Amino acid sequence: MGIRPLHPLFAAEMHGADFTGHPTVQLIESVERAMARFGVLVIRGADITDEQQKIFSRAFGPLELPSRRNDAQPMPCGERVFDPTMFYAGNLDRDGRIISYGAEEGKLSRGAERFHTDSSFHSMPTKWSLLRGHETPPPEAGGDTWFADTRAAYDALPEELKERIDRLVGLHDFWEGRRRAGLKGEITPEMRRMIPFPAVQHDLVRTLDDGRKSLFIGGHCTGVVGMDEEEGRELVEHLYAHATQDRFIYRHQWRQHDLVIWDNRCTMHAATPLLSNEYRRDMRRTTINESGPEISAFEWMGLAEEG
């Protein structure tokens, strides 16, 4: 196994590892070390099944399961088969047909085009996300994913700003984040009932296991506890603009069967649109937590049965 850096600050490619079987102790330790150092790890040519992806993921923590209300209507069936323990992204509907960019059916997912941290809008102890390109368009068609190193962004802040924010707590709100990302129209009570996450609180600055600090912000972070709405919004937007400068960003251009792992505690990421409706895109994600049972955020937060 070998590691090749992809950016001066973070992100690396791992080669020479076998991801098809149960991960060995050597592989687990190598991945943990690489993730602690680089925050983003790219594995090219990971032609593995959904089950193999889940086995590999579980070696590093319990899966976060997709959330679904207990009283939700049955999901419409189609030709595609969905694993209820995985998250899906891309441009395909339930019958495997391409959803045109800009169509009503995909409007909610466009919030991912703003830099964000997966699952920061709930209170589970999120660790990593692992996204696999099951079916990807050619690189020149677009659809890249951009990653930002929030450790390096914190390090580059003025000392007086570090002192100001070190003990502040951010507010993370799913729907307000989507609205600021460009979601058009009113956020209705029915929408909030469908995805009923309340605003949750996370420290603006996290101290990692190696002692480094990182900004914990992103598209779902919409304010600061104890500040009025406008002051809090201005502060988190200032930090967001700082952390998404070009010098902190690695741009990943997808190839077929890429597996990309990122640490949600010290990076943000943003999808870039696949503007062409000519190509199919099927991306499959497992998300793992630092600890706890394999459970959905709805169940963890007691939201699954709310009326």
Mean pLDDT of all residues in 171-188: 85
How deeply is 41 buried, as exposed, middle or buried, from its count of CB atoms within 10 A (0-12, 13-18, 19+)?
buried
305 within domain boundaries: no
The total number of structural domains that make up the chain = 1
Mean pLDDT of all residues in 270-289: 93
pLDDT of residue 70: 80
Q: In the chain, helix, strand, coil percent, each to 5?
A: 25, 25, 45
Query: Any bridge partners for residue 133, and if so which?
Result: 283
68 within domain boundaries: yes
270 within domain boundaries: yes
pLDDT of residue 79: 83
pLDDT of residue 140: 87
Give the CATH number, domain containing residue 7: 3.60.130.10
Mean pLDDT of all residues in 48-77: 89
pLDDT band at residue 251 using 50, 70 and 90 as cut-offs: very high
Give the tens place of pLDDT for each residue, 99-129. 998 787 777 777 789 999 999 999 999 999 9
Domain containing residue 197: 2-300
306 within domain boundaries: no
Give the tens place of pLDDT for each residue, 130-141. 999 999 999 888
256 within domain boundaries: yes
22 within domain boundaries: yes
Mean pLDDT of all residues in 74-101: 89
> What is the biggest distance separating any 2 CA atoms in the chain, rounded to whole angstroms?
56
Q: In terms of pLDDT, which residue wins out, 200 or 21?
A: 200
Percent of the chain with pLDDT over 90: 79
Percent of the chain with pLDDT over 70: 98
pLDDT of residue 84: 92
In order, the DSSP letters of 258-292 are -EEEEETTTEEEEE-----SSS--EEEEEEEESSS
Residue 303 has pLDDT above 70, yes or no: yes
262 within domain boundaries: yes
Mean pLDDT (the chain) is: 93
pLDDT band at residue 275 using 50, 70 and 90 as cut-offs: confident
Q: Which residues contact 244 (CB under 8 A, 6 or more apart)?
A: 115, 148, 268
Residue 144 has pLDDT above 80, yes or no: yes
Residue 266 has pLDDT above 60, yes or no: yes
pLDDT band at residue 306 using 50, 70 and 90 as cut-offs: low
Give the tens place of pLDDT for each residue, 12-60. 999 999 999 899 999 999 999 999 999 999 999 999 999 999 999 999 9
144 within domain boundaries: yes
Residue 65 has pLDDT above 70, yes or no: yes
pLDDT of residue 14: 97
